[in-house]
Amino acid sequence: MRIRRAPYSTRLHAARFPAARGWHTRASGPQHESACLRQRTSWAATVPFTDGANDLPPHRMIEGLPPDGIIMAVVQWVECRRVEGLRALRPPLRLDRAVRSQFPGPRGDELPLYRVRGRFPGRYNVDLWVFYGRRHPTRAQRAAARRELAGVRWPAS
């Protein structure tokens, strides 16, 4: 990947999941990883939150995730330099573009991670993580996750 200078904003507003029935939502405060990196994490889950707002993957939540459970996290970040190679995306994010993989930690061999990474050009980068409580999510789980994701309010910056 080639790195190129990009406009840098010191302020980053969090995406907001809708507070739909059966879902818990929250957003982390601004994270300042370095002088050139700002980041926020927004969450939606069908189970109560037991990990911190910046814990990704959320190991305790995954450990107790029931078969019908869903956990979603969207990380937004901006950097002083733009990372080349991230595909351009437009809201709403679509789960049919997710890459399925394993992740380190409890149940990482049992449950896959579904991930969508890219950038909203001129705004910020995004990294969506989705965990289902079973190796192969049901049609109802996928539909519920799509509905929740479709309702996300994406900030301009």
Q: Which phi and psi (to 5°) does residue 155 adopt?
A: -75, 155
Write out pLDDT tens, residues 29-56: 887 666 678 899 999 999 999 999 999 9
**Residues with Cβ within 8 Å of residue 2, at least 6 apart in sequence:** 84, 85
* Domain assignments of the chain as residue spans, ordered by start: 3-150
Q: For residue range 85-133, list pLDDT tens digits in order.
A: 899 999 999 999 999 999 888 898 999 999 999 999 989 999 999 999 9
* pTM for the full predicted model: 0.89
Contact 43, 53 (CB under 8 A): yes
Question: How confident is the model over 125-147, as pLDDT tens digits?
Answer: 999 999 999 999 999 999 999 99
